[in-house]
Amino acid sequence: MSADVVALLRAALGEKVDVSPATLESARADKSGHAASGTPLAVVHAASVADVQETVRIASATRTPVVTRGAGTGLAGGANTGGGEIALSLRSMDRVVEVRPDDLLAVVEPGILNADLDRALAPYGLWWAPDPASREISTVGGNIATGAGGLLCAKYGVVRDAVLALDVVLADGRLLHVGHRSVKGVTGLDLTSLLIGSEGTLGVIVGATLKLRRRVPGEAQTLTATFPGVREAAVASAAVTSAGIQPAIMELMDAACLAAVHTLLALPAPLAGAAQLTIQTDGPASHAEADEIAAVLVAAGGDVRRAADPAEAELLWRVRRSMHPAMETLGTTLIEDVSVPRSALPAMFDEIARIERTYCLTIPTVCHAGDGNLHPNFVFTGPDVPDVVWAAAGKLFQAALRLGGTLTGEHGIGVLKRRWLRDELGDDQWELQRQITRVFDPAGILNPGKVFAQSPDE
Ligand SMILES: Cc1cc2nc3c(=O)[nH]c(=O)nc-3n(C[C@H](O)[C@H](O)[C@H](O)COP(=O)(O)OP(=O)(O)OC[C@H]3O[C@@H](n4cnc5c(N)ncnc54)[C@H](O)[C@@H]3O)c2cc1C
């Protein structure tokens, strides 16, 4: 049967069907550190909407699972393709189809990298605001399918705020256009929103009409503030928010993160226990806002440093950007992703400290403090997540939910968090959402086993 599927794909799509061992192996994993079991049947490198429709029609006729892939940078295992499955790569569909400065929109294919889109929009003085730290390596289609966030989203919004319309290939191969090009539009149910963050379970996104912004004028200002501990830093970030000043970026690194980055960059060791906020203001009021924020941080006990020029700002941001590489020097990393209301950040850091003590773990945590999205990192040796780490992660999720937060702020559920999904949704909503996936995909061929566990022990 699997040989038949590959033969059918080959007959329809020729050389776009790739069964080379290296390609099949790379389709098994994303950047979560988790890989699917077994080896995919084939990777289809779609070059057009017709290629996607052809692939999905064959999958539907043969009841073969299809896993859509962008660039495979996901952190939840959503794009991992296993035995008996087809990996459908959209990475080659990377054209900017249309840019309309007058309407502040662009129409793009899904495989374009976020940063390539940014470079294409720069000559028009426009930008697409979602800016995941992976922008140089992740696709716009993947950003939409995961509902990605980034550093600037406290001020400029997440993917959900920046998509007007989508072209989607359904599980039976039909092409659907949802949404609109107008600023306003409330006709019927909002299927565009439903598809954002659906992680490849409802359809294959083959085109996107994006809501753009004009580039922000003025010179951005950068400052850091160091505090004796992470709780003080979290309280200070909440004070900035409640003072009514809106930084473009406000990032928090706890002591373990700061120490690891300083070691990696060969900087002098930070004070023991010290945590740091790195903040950027932008726009015409950037100088005045940086002054106001500095005053709030000093009042909160921070040791504030203001970058004198772009070169010094770059040095300060280098510390934050080196977080992932620094973690990689410590071992294998499970990057978690919980979100809480901003006022609950200090309490969430208290919970993390409690979990560290209970499980005898260090959990280096970096946080988009401007919007309350924390990335606690579990570091371990070897390829498999130890049981103690999953137990601690489970406590972390429960704590975030208790504080009015959510299991995932921007990375999605994929395979890694599906066992906790019911805890947040409750049985009724879990079942309702499951039924919605069946309406889109009655045969269950689109990314099966992702987001929704197929059995309770998954
Ligand atoms: C160093 C690093 C930093 C990161 N920083 C951030 C960050 O700041 N913010 C953030 O949100 N994420 C971040 N991520 C996670 C990741 O980059 C995002 O989730 C990104 O949106 C995934 O895009 P991708 O193209 O790699 O998608 P993939 O990993 O290929 O796929 C992700 C999911 O989307 C589905 N999918 C992909 N394309 C389509 C499509 N066209 N149609 C339907 N379904 C599709 C897949 O099936 C899968 O479920 C980071 C990752 C790394 C490695």
In angstroms, the CA 366 to CA 40 distance is 35
Report CA(408)–ligand 1 centroid distance (Å).
Answer: 13
Please give the span between the terminal C-alpha atoms of the chain, in angstroms, as a whole number: 26
DSSP letters for 169-233: E-TTS-EEEEE-SSS----SS-HHHHHTT-TTSS-EEEEEEEEPEEPPPS--EEEEEEESSHHHH
Instruction: Give yes or no for residue 197 CB within 6 A of ligand 1.
Output: no
Predicted pLDDT at 91:
98
Which residue has a Cα nearest atom 15 of ligand 1? Answer: 74
Which residue has a Cα nearest atom 27 of ligand 1? Answer: 142
Pocket perturbation via mutation, ligand 1, pick of 73, 176, 204, 333 by most ligand atoms within 8 A of CB: 73
Instruction: Give yes or no for residue 146 CB within 6 A of ligand 1.
Output: yes
Instruction: Give yes or no for residue 324 CB within 6 A of ligand 1.
Output: yes
Instruction: Give yes or no for residue 150 CB within 6 A of ligand 1.
Output: yes
Which residue has a Cα nearest atom 2 of ligand 1? Answer: 134
Ligand 1 atom having least distance to the Cα of 410: 11
Prediction pTM value: 0.96
The string of pLDDT tens digits covering residues 262-271 is: 999 999 999 9
The string of pLDDT tens digits covering residues 62-97 is: 999 999 999 999 999 999 999 999 999 999 999 999
Predicted pLDDT at 154:
87
The string of pLDDT tens digits covering residues 108-136 is: 999 999 999 999 999 999 999 999 999 99
Residue 456 clears pLDDT 70, i.e. is over it: no
In angstroms, the CA 179 to CA 249 distance is 30
Residue 43 pLDDT grade (very low, low, confident, very high; cuts 50, 70, 90): very high
Instruction: Give yes or no for residue 413 CB within 6 A of ligand 1.
Output: no
Residue 190 clears pLDDT 80, i.e. is over it: yes
Angle at 349 between CA 345 and CA 351, to 5 degrees: 115
Residue 202 pLDDT grade (very low, low, confident, very high; cuts 50, 70, 90): very high
The string of pLDDT tens digits covering residues 136-185 is: 999 999 999 999 999 999 899 999 999 999 999 999 999 999 999 999 99
Pocket perturbation via mutation, ligand 1, pick of 138, 367, 447 by most ligand atoms within 8 A of CB: 138
Q: Are the CB atoms for 129 and 153 separated by under 8 Å?
A: yes
- The owner of tokens 């930070």 is 270
Ligand 1 atom having least distance to the Cα of 30: 29
Predicted pLDDT at 1:
61
Going 25 to 40 to 136 to 375, the CA torsion angle's sign is negative
Angle at 367 between CA 208 and CA 370, to 5 degrees: 70
Helix (H) or strand (E) holding 167: strand 163-169
Q: What is the chain's mean pLDDT, rounded?
A: 96
Could you tell me the two tokens for 286? 């950037």
Could you tell me the two tokens for 407? 């299991």
Could you tell me the two tokens for 385? 């997540």
Task: State the pairing for strand pair 338-339/373-380.
Answer: antiparallel
Ligand 1 atom having least distance to the Cα of 148: 11
Predicted pLDDT at 457:
65
Which residue has a Cα nearest atom 44 of ligand 1? Answer: 200
Q: CB burial class (10 A; 0-12, 13-18, 19+) of residue 419?
A: middle
